[in-house]
Structures are given as structure tokens and as C-alpha cells.
Structure 1
Amino acid sequence: MTRVLETVLWIQGIYFLVTGIWPLVSYSSFEAITGRKTDVWLVKTLGALLAVTGAALLNAVVATAPVTITVFITGIGTAMVLLMIDLVYVVKSVISKIYLVDACIQFLLVMLWCISIF
């Protein structure tokens, strides 16, 4: 496993785990930063899914087996989807502009995944 691949797995794994757990453990602080939401259950569902994805990526970096194409697709695919959702819904004024910070992080993750394959 290359150093870049290890780095992207650590960064994305920890970021997804932490940001995924955040609305589950302190919904009020999550809303204070990201803005009021109407569907609490949906925010918590996405948070749980991101936490699971983060845990899976962290498992991939500590496992002794080589990183599979499934891990690659999960990592880059999730980052690409979140990047697009952030951009589209900030532009439509559906979500807070704070999500542009997340969009920048997701863009960085996509770029790191692209670098890791070369």
C-alpha cells in the first residue's frame, strides 16, 4: 500500500467516523453549526452510514490485505457524491454555506484518491 493511499484512508476514515457520529451524540451542536434541519431522522441516518463507511475505510488501512477495488469505489464514490450534494444544495440555498467547507474537504479526498492510483 502506498503512503498516499494510507493517508487518504486515515483522513477519510477519521473524518467520516467523526462527522457521522456527531449528529448522533450532539444533535443540537450539529444544528448550531450546520443550520436547522426538518428531517432529524434523515440526518441521523446519514450520520450513521457515514460513521460505518469511515469505520470500513479505517479497517482497510489497518488490515494486512491489499486494498480492493471495492474500498476504492466506496472511498472515492462517497466523497464524490457528498461533494456534488454539497455544491448543488448550497447553490439552491437549501443548505447552509458552511457545507462549502465540507465540499472542499470532499474535493481534497477525491484528489487524494486520484493521486493514490498513480
Structure 2
Amino acid sequence: MSRTRAAELADTVTVAHGAFNVVGGLWPLLHLRSFEWVFGPKADDWLQRTTGGLLLSAGLAQLAAAADPQGRPQARRIGLGTALTLLAIDLVYVPKGRIRPTYLLDAAMQTGWIAAWLRPTPGGSTGKARD
């Protein structure tokens, strides 16, 4: 795989994960009822909206970083931080019964994003775009 191909893959992950976070963040902001139908009602609507706003911000930052090759490392840090945090919440609170088992679908997605960001690239590095 050439460095150009590696850069294309990094761009794809950056844009895809950014878009995923934008959609995930907008959902509870635009239609809380359908969000709660899938993931369960919560006691604090403001907390769902806050989390949605933070996900939206992370996604927009990733999408903005995708426009600049120098922005890829920042997009990667945002992506890994977001995915690791959401995965940890899913894996801690589903078994405790605090959140619905449907959050395990989110855990699977977050695991996929982590794997995409950590994938090996030519030269033996783990996903850090340096080109």
C-alpha cells in the first residue's frame, strides 16, 4: 500500500467517524423521543442533550480536520478519545442494568472505530497519518 493509499484510508476513517458522531450527536437533539425509544428513557433530558452536543462538536471537529492532512492526527485523537469513552460507558453500565442492552450495538460500533484508528499502516505504525 502506498503512502497515498494510506492517506486516503486515513481520510476515509476521519470523514466516516466524523459523520457518525455528527449524526449520533444530532439524533437526541432533534428527536429525543425516537432516541429514547431505541435506547431507553433517561431521567435527565438535559444530560442526553449535553452528550449529543458534545458528540456533535467532536464530529464537526473531525470533519474540519479531514480537510487538512495536518489535521488527521487531531482527528485521530478526537476519534479515539470519543470511541474509548463511549465504549467504556457501554461496557460498564449495560451489565449494571443502568442502560439498555441496545447500547451493546453502540459498543460494537465504537470497537470498530477504535480498530480503524489503530490499524497498522506501512512502516509498522498504528494508524498515525504522517503524510
TM norm structure 1: 0.91
Q: How does 1:56-95 map to 2 (within 5 A)?
A: 56-61=61-66, 63-67=67-71, 69-95=73-99
8 Å contact 1:87–1:103 — kept in the other structure?
yes
Query: RMSD across aligned C-alpha pairs, in angstroms?
Result: 1.6
C-alpha deviations, 1:48-103, integer Å up to 9, x for none?
11001101101111x23423543322111111111111111001110000000000
Instruction: Report if the CA contact (8 A) 1:4-1:112 is conserved.
Output: no
- In the superposition, the TM-score normalised over structure 2's length comes to 0.83
Task: Give the Cα–Cα distance (whole angstroms) in 1 for the partners of residues 74 and 17 of structure 2.
Answer: 15
1:28-43 matches, within 5 Å, as 28-43=33-48
What is the alpha-carbon distance in structure 2 between the residues aligned to residue 70 and residue 45 of structure 1?
22
The structure 1 segments of at least 4 consecutive aligned residues displaced by more than 2 Å after TM superposition are 67-72
- Per-residue CA deviations over 1:3-30 (Å, capped at 9, x if unaligned) read 2211211221111100101111101111
1:7 to 5, 12, 22: 12
- Work out the percentage of aligned pairs sharing the same amino acid: 38
Letter in 2 for 1:88: V
Task: Please list every run of 5 or more consecutive structure 2 residues that lacks an aligned counterpart in the other structure.
Answer: 1-5, 120-126
Determine which structure has the larger helix proportion and give its number: 1
Q: Which has the larger radius of gyration?
A: 2
Alignment of 1:38-49 (within 5 A): 38-49=43-54
- 1:55, 1:113 → 2: CA distance? 17
- Establish whether residue 117 from structure 1 lines up as the match of residue 128 from structure 2: yes
| CA 1:30–1:39: 2 relative to 1, 3 Å | same
Q: Does the CA-based 8 Å contact 1:17-1:55 persist in structure 2? A: yes
For residues 88 and 112 of structure 1, the distance between their equivalents in structure 2, rounded to whole angstroms, comes to 23
Where do 5+ consecutive residues of structure 1 fail to align? none
What is the distance in 1 between the residues matched to 2:47 and 2:99? Answer: 14
Task: Name the counterpart of 2:32.
Answer: 27
The answer to whether the Cα contact below 8 Å between 2:65 and 2:74 also exists between their aligned partners in 1 is no
